[in-house]
Amino acid sequence: DYKTATKNFWHPMSPSKQDPSQETLIVVSGEGNYVTDADGNRLLDGVGGLWNVNVGHNRAEVKDAIKAQLDQLAYYQSFDGVAHPRVYDLADRLVGMLAQEDAHRVLFGSNGSDAVETALKLSRQYWIAAGEPGRVRFLSLRNSYHGMHIGGTSVGGNAVYHYNHGPLLPGVELLDSPFLYRNPWNTEDPAELTDHLIRQLEERIEFLGGQTIAAFIAEPVQGAGGVIVPPEDYWPRVREVLDRHGILMISDEVVTGFGRTGNMLGSRGWGVKPDIMAFAKGISAGYIPLAATVFNRRVADAIENGPGFSNVIMHGYTYSGHPTAAAAALAVLDIVERDDLPGNAGLVGAVLQDELQALESHRYVGETRGKGLMAAIDLVADKGTRESVDPSSGIAHRIAAAAREEGVVVRPAGTKIILSPPLTLEADEAREMVRALDAALSRVD
Ligand code: PMP
């Protein structure tokens, strides 16, 4: 019995001895926006795997592309002097899709942590090539999540991922995140919040010296940190400050890339153009892992023309540009563009966000928030002070378990419930997600 028997697989993010009251959901198959568990229950997939099954499960077009590639060539390297057609096809496709961002070159990897690590290393190389090797620091935001490698862990703004893994990378400066519901100034006015955050950014740059900072890395909408949607003028004003100091902007689009927020990129929702973009998850929608770090002409030109050894990128993985993963990504991007999944995420997302508001009448729901098809339910012990529930109380898990009994998979994340369904979600399914959550919350009220 997969659910209860002791197994050698150790769940990430869980203690060595799993809570026996917490039953493991064993998923055995998927079709469209639904999965089926080991007991044969068909469940609406409110989490899209882990923010990534954006085109839904079991898509024939993607499977066919994978099979065709497997029949031709499962794997070959794409290092110095060796490549295969798919790696060029996918790089061209990405640069074409990201023309607005002045995208110019692509480096591949296997997952979001790779994409972030590549972005961080690339930003340092940029400054070495550009003749300012003293620019080594990174600015990032509290609550942020940038993957599990040591660079991404170090720039990540959630201390729970720092425990047991130090010492971390030096030279990381955390700034407050654009979080209206909880911020150090206790302001509820978005314009005022942005003013505070921009002042903090400027002061920190002044104090450290802009000439010591390589890049600012952030998610356009923080995901794992609780789906934090910045005020309208936040990103344009951040970009303006960074430009004044020459600091590169790295956009971690691992969750937000390819449609989730209702725009093709998260950053497009604010009309800003990052210098370096990290993609994974939705790029191949879980069919075969793949990551891409895409950078603009400014970065590419400086490195290409860099002196000495600085024009060689000594960074790549065995699976950088894996042919079968690239074939899967090309098929996924075909669906994303043909079916306008960013547009669908915007429309169905508006229904979802609107319906979720009604849940705020429940005892533990402090706020629901999100953009497109990413949303969070913020669980509070006290609606007045907005103090979070005790994460060890297991309340998020109890809500998720009850939602599952109502036929919907949602993700418990400590003091939040996270939603990130496939971007193929239909409006009725969005309403069904909220109905199940309403019933689940009623049980714990
Ligand atoms: N960046 C962001 C914003 C993420 O949400 C994640 C994963 N949740 C990562 C990076 C890391 O991706 P992966 O787990 O594929 O390494």
The predicted pLDDT at position 4 comes to: 64
The predicted pLDDT at position 8 comes to: 81
Question: Contact 54/423 with Cβ under 8 angstroms?
Answer: yes
> What values do phi and psi take at 172, rounded to 5?
-105, 130
The predicted pLDDT at position 440 comes to: 98
Question: Contact 30/48 with Cβ under 8 angstroms?
Answer: no
Beta bridge partners of 412: 417
Task: Assign 16 a pLDDT band (cuts: 50, 70, 90).
Answer: low
Which ligand 1 atom sits closest to the C-alpha of 110? Answer: 15
Between 3-17, 334-348, 353-367, the lowest mean confidence (pLDDT) is in 3-17
Beta-sheet pairing, 374-382 with 416-419: antiparallel
Query: Token pair of 292, please?
Result: 């891409």
Task: Between 322 and 7, name the one with better pLDDT.
Answer: 322
- Residue 259 scores a pLDDT above 70: yes
- Residue 248 scores a pLDDT above 80: yes
Radius of gyration of the chain (CA): 22
Beta bridge partners of 37: 27
Is 255 near ligand 1, meaning CB less than 6 Å away?
Answer: yes
b/e per residue, 169-198, with b = 16+ CB within 10 A?
A: beebbbbbbbbbebbeeeeeebeebbbbbb
The predicted pLDDT at position 55 comes to: 98
Distance (Å, whole) CA 258 – CA 241 = 27
The predicted pLDDT at position 91 comes to: 98
Q: How many CB atoms lie within 10 A of CB 159?
A: 9
- Residue 21 scores a pLDDT above 70: no
Is 147 near ligand 1, meaning CB less than 6 Å away?
Answer: yes
Q: Mean pLDDT over all residues of the chain?
A: 96
Is 254 near ligand 1, meaning CB less than 6 Å away?
Answer: yes
Share of the chain above pLDDT 70, in %: 97
For 39, 45, 97, 259, 385, the CA distances from 424, given in Å and listed in that order, are 25, 11, 20, 11, 37
DSSP 283-318: GTTTSS--EEEEEEHHHHHHHHT-SGGGGS-----T
The predicted pLDDT at position 342 comes to: 98
The predicted pLDDT at position 96 comes to: 98
The predicted pLDDT at position 23 comes to: 75
Mean pLDDT, rounded, for 188-199:
98
Of 224, 204, 221, residue with least CA distance to 158 = 224
Mean pLDDT, rounded, for 135-162:
97
In angstroms, the first-to-last Cα distance of the chain is 33
> What values do phi and psi take at 241, rounded to 5?
-65, -45
The predicted pLDDT at position 10 comes to: 81
Query: Token pair of 79, please?
Result: 């290092």
Is 352 near ligand 1, meaning CB less than 6 Å away?
Answer: no
Is 146 near ligand 1, meaning CB less than 6 Å away?
Answer: yes
For 71, 110, 137, 201, 277, the CA distances from 292, given in Å and listed in that order, are 24, 8, 23, 28, 8
- Residue 296 scores a pLDDT above 80: yes
Assign 44 to helix, strand or coil.
strand
- Residue 142 scores a pLDDT above 90: yes
Mean pLDDT, rounded, for 381-396:
95
Q: How far is the CA of 223 from the centre of ligand 1 (A)?
A: 9
Is 111 near ligand 1, meaning CB less than 6 Å away?
Answer: yes
Mean pLDDT, rounded, for 182-208:
98
Task: Assign 19 a pLDDT band (cuts: 50, 70, 90).
Answer: low
Q: How many CB atoms lie within 10 A of CB 25?
A: 16
Distance (Å, whole) CA 113 – CA 116 = 5
Range 64-70, long-range pairs (CB < 8 A, 24+ positions):
64/331, 65/327, 65/328, 65/330, 65/331, 66/287, 66/288, 66/324, 66/327, 66/328, 66/331, 68/327, 69/323, 69/324, 69/326, 69/327, 69/328, 70/324
Maximum Cα interatomic distance, the chain, rounded to a whole number of Å = 65
Which ligand 1 atom sits closest to the C-alpha of 253? Answer: 3
- Residue 384 scores a pLDDT above 70: yes
Instruction: Please compute, for residue 430, the number of CA atoms within 13 A of its CA located in the half-sphere on the CB side.
Output: 25
Mean pLDDT, rounded, for 326-335:
98
Q: How many CB atoms lie within 10 A of CB 370?
A: 23
The predicted pLDDT at position 6 comes to: 61
Q: How many CB atoms lie within 10 A of CB 228?
A: 24
Mutate to test the pocket of ligand 1, among 116, 154, 250, 319 (most ligand atoms within 8 A of CB): 116
Of 280, 312, 295, 209, residue with least CA distance to 248 = 295
Q: How far is the CA of 337 from the centre of ligand 1 (A)?
A: 23
Is 260 near ligand 1, meaning CB less than 6 Å away?
Answer: no
- Residue 302 scores a pLDDT above 80: yes
